[in-house]
Homo-oligomer: A and B are copies of this chain.
Amino acid sequence: MTGRPTSRDVAREAGVSQSTVSLVLGGKWTGRVSPATAAGVRAAAARLGYRPNRAARNLRLGTTRTVLLMVPSLTSPFFGPVYRGAARVAARHGFGVVVYEWPDLPGPAGSPFAAPHEAIDGILASSMAVEAVGGFPGTPAVMLDSDPDGPVPSVGLGVADGMRAIIAHLAALGHTRFGHVAADVDQWTFHSRADALAAAVGAVPGGALVRAGCAIDVASAKAAAGRLLDGPHPPTALVCDDDQISAGAYKAARARGLDVPRDLSVTGFDDVLLATALEPELTTVRLPAEDLGAAGMAALLELLDGGCPAPRTLPGELIVRSSTAAPPRGTR
C-alpha cells in the first residue's frame, strides 16, 4: 500500500465492505448502517488518513462540482474580489472554483478555450465577450458585467447609472467641458460607459465632450489625458474609465502644473485600492466586485440546479472624495 489509501483499504481496516464505507462516508447511511459500525468506519478512515479520490468520485457522479471562472486578468485589483465572492458562495454549496486567465493564457491548442484543464460543471465569465463561452458548447454559463441582452444569463453592474451619477455630480459643481479618458478595450462594460457618458453630457446645458483612448495602464493613461489637456478646448473635468487611468490623469495634470481638484477635477471608476491610496483621494464609482462574484455564482448554481435565474443588476455607488471640485473661475 504505497499510494494513498482507498475506500477498500478503509473497509479492510474496519472489517466491513467497501460499500459500507462509501455509505457511511457519503452521509447517506441513516437506517442502513448501525451507529456502531459507522463509528468504526470513521475511526478506520481517520486512522488511515483516508480521503476519497476526487477523480473517481467525479467519474462516478458525472459531476465535478467545480466551476470555471474566466477573467481577463488576475492582475487587475478588480478581479480578486470577484473571485473571492464567487468562491465563497461556491464553497457554501460544496463547489470549487478554478480560475482561467484570458487572453493572457491561451490554451495549449492555440484556441484559448480548447482545453480548460479541469472538468467543469459551469462557467462564470467576467467582463468578457459572449464568444468566450463559445468554446464550451452546452456548458451552463453566466456572464458578469456583460451585455444583458446577450444569449447567456448575466449579472450586470450599473455602470451606466454610475456614469450618469458622475456627470450629475460634476454638472452640479458647474462643469460643462468634459474629457473622457477611455479604456480602449473591446468589452461591453466600456462601451456601456462611453454611451452613458455621451448621453449624459448631451443632457447638460452647454455640455461639451472630448475623448481620448488609452490602454489600462498609468503611462498610457497619462499620455491620453495629456492629449486632452493640450487640446484646443481643454476640459475642466476628466472622466476616467478606471481608477488606474485616473492615476495617469493625475500625473498628466501635475506635469502641467495643474492642481487636482482646484484646476482640474478627475473621476475614476471601480473604487479599487488605488482610489484611496492616491492624493487627493479619488471621487469614483464603487462597483461591488465581491457581490458581483457572489451573485454570479448564485445565479450559476441556480442554473446548474435546473432553475432559471432572474436577471440582476447590482448598482454602483458614487463615492465623492477629494478629486472633484468646482471648475476654476473664468473657464465657463
Contact = CB atoms under 8 A, between A and B. Distances in A.
Contacts of A84: 74-75, 101, 104-105
Given A118-B118, A278-B277, A88 B64 contact: no
Interface in A32-57: 49, 51, 53-56
A273 B80 contact: no
Contact of A117 (B62, B96, B116): B96
A99 interface: yes
A4 interface: yes
Given A117-B65, A137-B49, A80 B87 contact: no
A73 B108 CA distance: 28
Interface stretch (A140-148, A153-161, A247-255): A247-255
A95 B54 CA distance: 17
A279 interface: yes
Contact of A54 (B77, B81, B118, B137): B118
A80 B73 CA distance: 8
Interface in A90-104: 91, 94-99, 101, 104
A99 B96 contact: no
The 9 A-B pairs at the shortest CB distance, nearest first, are namely: A96-B117, A75-B80, A55-B58, A54-B119, A247-B277, A55-B59, A74-B80, A56-B59, A99-B99
Interface of A: 3-4, 49, 51, 53-56, 58-59, 62, 64-66, 73-77, 79-81, 83-84, 87-88, 91, 94-99, 101, 104-105, 107-108, 115-119, 137-138, 218-219, 244, 247, 250-251, 254, 273-274, 276-279
28 contacts: A4-B138, A51-B115, A54-B58, A54-B64, A55-B58, A55-B64, A55-B119, A58-B59, A74-B74, A74-B83, A74-B84, A75-B77, A75-B80, A75-B273, A80-B80, A83-B99, A83-B101, A84-B105, A87-B101, A91-B105, A97-B117, A118-B118, A218-B277, A219-B276, A251-B279, A277-B277, A278-B278, A278-B279
